[in-house]
Amino acid sequence: MDELSIVQPYVPRYRVPFFDGLADALHADGVRLRVIAGSPTGAQAERQDAASAPWLETVESRVLAVGRRHLSLTSSRKLWRGSDAVIVPYQGTSLDALSALLRRNDRKVGVWGHIASYTSPLNALDGAIERWQLRRADHVFAYMPSGAAFARRAGVTPDRITTTMNSIDSAELEREVAALTGTTARQKLRERGVPDGPYLAYVGGLDESKRISFLAHALDIVRERGSDVHVVVLGLGGQAGVLDRAASRGQVSMLGYGAAADKAAVLVGAEAVVNPGRVGLIAVDCLAARTPLITTDWPWHAPELEYLIEGEQVQITADDPLAFADAMIAASAGALEHPDTSWPPAPSIDGMVTNFRTGVRHMLAL
């Protein structure tokens, strides 16, 4: 049986259904899957969403901060050096990625990630290293079509590229949503201390990448304008305290970390989801729950924002707290239109597993 190791910086809980499905699918192809990941650090650890699973092997993370850059010095080579193939993070600052690509021997090496630079500006050195990674890899696994297009422009032939269509377990959320009515969802929130009345939702980590300070500023403006906008927040993170002032004024209900059932209860009755920065897989949640999203034209969103069509499933405001506050006030008043006919199906874990499996089979020539 061939052995494939996938190396990750860390594995959050939302990745467990994907790796469960991939392990089963690859086993049918005669491939044993191992997932090797660092332990969560910094903002990742503060989210308290690290996974545990039989296929997961954890190594100690070593991260060196150089100014605003973070170099991943985590080394897991001793765990995967005997594998027939390894897929490493597409990251110019990853020691594991550099080690795998420099010392391939007879091992197949793939890279997996955003591929294009979405969530932060890329300096010249990192960009040169990452383009080298693309050319050096046997196969490229891109989250979204725009990442695959970037790989092609960098010189990777289409037969060496797989678009995975990154997702979370949208089917589980859809089941939880279908099991609720507006009344039962509201009762669940009432039991958690959420007041009756219209509300907006924030779902996800509470850290700098999500621009929680921007959201707090917008809530200050909402209050100055005399609006009674209320936001239900489902998530944890190091910047949760940034919302303390709004919570003390009764503008925010902080519910902490939540599973799919909690997420469904929050999303079903929300007028909209608000996320001013780095929209990512929340786009899949919005499609699964048919809840529109309000965000900004900030340039560093993750590629999953591509799942939503502006003016249909997502409203994009100017990158300004005043504009964002206006959109929140309008949405809370029921002025954000989101007709049912505009909702495409949410991307699924099954689809992502199928796509990834196809890429692995191609890389291993199965």
pLDDT digits (tens, 9 = 90+) for 241-269: 999 999 999 999 999 999 999 999 999 99
Q: Are residues 324 and 186 in the same domain?
A: yes
Give the tens place of pLDDT for each residue, 123-150.
Answer: 777 788 889 999 999 999 999 999 999 9
Angle at 283 between CA 52 and CA 11, to 5 degrees: 15
Residue 341 has pLDDT above 80, yes or no: no
Task: Tell me: do 254 and 319 sit in the same domain.
Answer: yes
What's the CA gap between 366 and 358, in Å, rounded? 10
CB atoms within 10 A of CB 103: 11
Cut 0.75: pTM above it: yes
- 29 with 147, same domain: the answer is yes
String of DSSP letters for 71-122? EE----HHHHTTSSEEEEE--TTBHHHHHHHHS-TT-EEEEEE--S--SS--
Same domain, 206 and 148: no
36 & 10 share domain: yes
pLDDT tens sequence across 28-71: 999 999 999 887 766 666 676 778 888 899 887 766 565 555 55
Q: Does 32 share its domain with 127?
A: yes
Instruction: Return left, alpha or beta for 355; rule: phi > 0 is left, psi -120 to 50 is alpha, else beta.
Output: alpha
Residue 6, classified by CB atoms within 10 Å of its CB into exposed (0-12), middle (13-18) or buried (19+), is buried
Of the candidates 223, 224, 252, 227, which has an alpha carbon nearest to the alpha carbon of residue 239? 252
Asked if residue 117 and residue 70 are part of one domain, the reply reads: yes
Residue 130 · residue 91 · CB < 8 Å: yes
Q: Which domain holds residue 159?
A: 2-167+348-363
Structural domain total, the chain: 2
Both 244 and 353 in one domain: the answer is no
pLDDT exceeds cutoff 70 at 358: yes
Residues 108 and 84: their CA atoms lie apart, in Å, by: 7
Band the pLDDT of 299: cuts 50, 70, 90.
Answer: very high
Band of the pLDDT at 232, cuts 50, 70, 90? very high
Indicate which CATH number applies to the domain containing 30: 3.40.50.2000
Judge if 329 and 355 occupy the same domain: no
Which helix (H) or strand (E) segment holds residue 165: the answer is none
Are residues 323 and 356 part of one domain? no
